[in-house]
Amino acid sequence: MPKAKIYITLKPALLDAQGRVLENALHQLGFEKVQQVRVGKYLEIELAPDGDPREQVEAMCQKLLANPVIEQYRYEVEP
Amino acid sequence: MKAGVIVFPGSNCDRDAYYALREVLGYDTEYLWHAYARDLSDYGLVILPGGFSYGDYLRPGTIARFARIMDCVREYAERGGLVLGICNGFQILCEAGLLPGALTRNLSLKFRCKPVHIRVENAETPFTRRYRHGEVLQIPIAHGDGRYVCDEATLRQLRANGQIIFRYCSPDGELGDKWNPNGSVDHIAGVANARFNVLGMMPHPERACELLLGSEDGRRLLQVG
C-alpha cells in the first residue's frame, strides 16, 4: 500500500515563534551550536494502490494540507 | 434588517453575536447551521463568529472553509453581501481565500484575552462609516492565533487600497510593538477585501456593544442596516 510522508513548515521568510522559543531553550540546555529551529507538521497518509499517488498527494497538499500563503511542503511516497 | 450568524461545530461566540444583533440592535437574526446550503440573498449581514471550529485541527479555519454554507457565503459576498468574520471567522475567511493573508500563532505563543485599543484606518466602508477616521476603539481580543501575515506585495496593495481597516494602537492612537498583542505585520487588527463588503478582524465587536460589558465601541460596527 503506497504511503506518503508529508512535511509542512512555515515559509523561511516567516518568523516561527515556536521555533524561536525552542532555539532559546536548547541554548539554555547547553546545545550552543543550534543555529535555528523550525517547527512543522508531519503527516502519514496511506493510499489505495491505484492511480498516481504523487499526483494525489500534491493535490491534497494544495487543497487542504498546506496553506500556500504561509507554508511550504515536501513529501516522499513509499510504494 | 435580517442578519445571520453561522454556527460551525466549535463556534463559541455565536451566541454573543446573536445577542448583539438581536437584543442590542434589534435585527431579525437567525443562526445558520454550517451543514445546510441557504439562500442568503435577503440577509443584510452574515457573521462568521469566533470560536474553535473543528477544534482548530491542522490550522484554525481550515476545515470550516469546506462547510456547505461557505459556498453560499462566497456567492453572497460575490453579489456584494456584507460578511463579517470575527476572530475564528477571520481565520476562516482567510483560509477560504475571501480575504488576503493568513493568521499565525501569536508571537508570544500565549492566548491573549484582554481589552485592546484599535484605530479606525478607513472610515469609508459599510462597517466603519459610523466611525471617524483615526477614532480609537476599545474592544476585547481573545485568541492564540492572531498574528496577521501576508507577503510584501499583498501588504503594499492593502495599504494602497485602504484595505487595512483597523490597527492595534495605544489608548491615544499611537502605533508601536508595545500595543500590538500578537505580532501582526504592520499592527493589523482587521482587513477588508477590495470591495469592502467582506471584513475580518481579531477583536470582538460583539462583546463591546453595551457599557455593562465595559465598552460599546463595537456596536456601530454591527449597525450596517
Q: Domains of chain A: which residue ranges?
A: 3-78
Q: Does B120 fall in a domain?
A: yes
In a domain, B185, yes or no: yes
Say what the pLDDT of residue B84 is: 98
Mean pLDDT of chain B: 97
B28 found inside a domain: yes
Enter the pTM of the model: 0.95
Q: Residue B46: which CATH number?
A: 3.40.50.880
Q: Is B167 contained in some domain?
A: yes
- Of A32, A77, A67, which is closest to residue B91 (Cα–Cα)? A67
Q: What pLDDT score does A50 carry?
A: 87
**B191, three cell numbers:** 482587513
Nearest CA in chain B to A10: B104
Pairwise CB contact (< 8 Å): A17 & B108: yes
Domain limits for position B178:
2-218
B79-120 residue pLDDT tens: 999 999 999 999 999 999 999 999 999 999 999 999 999 999
Catalytic site includes residue B133 = no
Whether the CB of A70 is below 8 Å from some CB of chain B: the reply is yes
Residue B225 lies in a domain: no
Query: Considering only alpha carbons, which residue of chain A is nearest residue B65?
Result: A64
Cβ–Cβ under 8 Å, residues B122 and B164: yes
Q: Which three cell numbers stand for residue A35?
A: 543555529
B168 strand-pairing partners: B118
Q: Would an 8 Å CB–CB cutoff place A36 in contact with chain B?
A: no
The topology (CATH level 3) of A3-78 is: Mth169; Chain: A , (3.30.1280)
Active-site residue B87, yes or no?
yes
The residue from B87, B94, B150, B209 that is catalytic is B87
Q: What would the mean pLDDT of A56-77 be, rounded to a whole number? A: 96
Tens digit of pLDDT for each residue in B48-77? Answer: 999 999 999 999 999 999 999 999 999 999
